Amino acid sequence: MTTSPIPWSLVIHGGAGAIERSQTRPETDSGVRAALNAALDAGGTILSAGGASLDAVEAAVRVLEDDPHFNAGRGSAFTFEGNNELDAAIMDGATLRAGSVAGVTATRNPVTLARAVMEQSAHVLLGREGADAFSREHGLDQADAEWFATPERRRQLDELLSNGGKFDVDMKYGTVGAVAVDQAGHIAAATSTGGVTGKRWGRIGDSPLIGAGTYADDRGAAVSCTGAGEFFIRESVAFQINARVRFLGESLRVAADTVMAEVKALGGTGGVIVTATDGGMAWSFTTASMYRGCAASDGNRKVALYEDEG
């Protein structure tokens, strides 16, 4: 008699926004899909071998941080002043431990720095110079400004400045994230972003804020968000989805759709990915596209970019 494998699942995103199929170059489309598949491979390899969901989400997000197709790590958006300031968060659903960083400038993989804050400090959120100092003191891989900067992100800033330097209302998000459940039945979430083009005054969005852009609780759901951060903060999107699953018993999709509708009613757009300890997976978005993918122990695997891909 054979026993069924304990289910695991992994869901990832690479941002959501006003990105139409007709506006996407073929090489960009194929590059994004390749990166999403590589991230699924990185996280899925860990989960299929019995590894922890926390390790899987970190591994998946690191792949996306290193790929310039996304607005996280290498390829992050430029601030108004022409710098790259990076945010990231990670959370363990089994223990409710969490770590996050905001406004860091020199850590190659901010998600790994967020995990170091969780595991090697007494704090949850570190910012700017302090987070950079913590990263150096703990021996994390550093990178210079040239590593993060890309010509396309610079072009986007130049275009914004030429139009008066107004806040990036077009919101072509490229935030990356991952949620997973492992064979022990524990969930985790991680998110990483370069923010929005032209951000000023040390602006911080939802991604590094536990409960807004990132949350994981074995009693409910693991959630990673991408979108108009100011609205996601006001709605506490990640925690609300978790709470609806935990306390109301809603399905992942119903909880995600309900909270995203509330974000839309406020005037915000974006998307979320969600999983739970039973291996269920869902995503919900209110934009023309969300770069996304999923993989599971039952062989279910999908990579999609546009709304019409289901």
pLDDT for residue 174:
84
- Within-domain flag for 126: yes
- Within-domain flag for 39: yes
pLDDT for residue 1:
39
pLDDT for residue 34:
98
C-beta separation of 89 from 208 below 8 A? yes
Range of the domain at 154: 9-309
- Within-domain flag for 1: no
First to last CA, the chain: 37
Please identify which residue in the block is written with the tokens 């989805």.
241
- Within-domain flag for 230: yes
Among this protein's residues, is 3 annotated catalytic? no
- Within-domain flag for 164: yes
CATH number of the domain that 17 lies in? 3.60.20.30
**Identified catalytic residue from 175, 191, 197, 226:** 175
**pLDDT tens for the chain, residues 1 to 310:** 344 467 999 999 999 987 788 788 999 999 999 999 999 999 999 999 999 999 999 999 999 999 999 999 999 999 999 999 999 999 999 999 999 999 999 999 999 999 999 999 999 999 999 999 999 999 999 999 999 999 999 999 999 999 876 665 555 668 999 999 999 999 999 999 999 999 999 999 999 999 999 999 999 999 999 999 999 999 999 999 999 999 999 999 999 999 999 999 999 999 999 999 999 999 999 999 999 999 999 999 999 999 999 7
- Within-domain flag for 4: no
- Within-domain flag for 2: no
Number of structural domains the chain divides into: 1
The first and second tokens of residue 130, run together, are 């302090």
- Within-domain flag for 206: yes
CA distance 292 to 281: 12
For residue 16, the cross-strand partners are 290
pLDDT for residue 163:
83
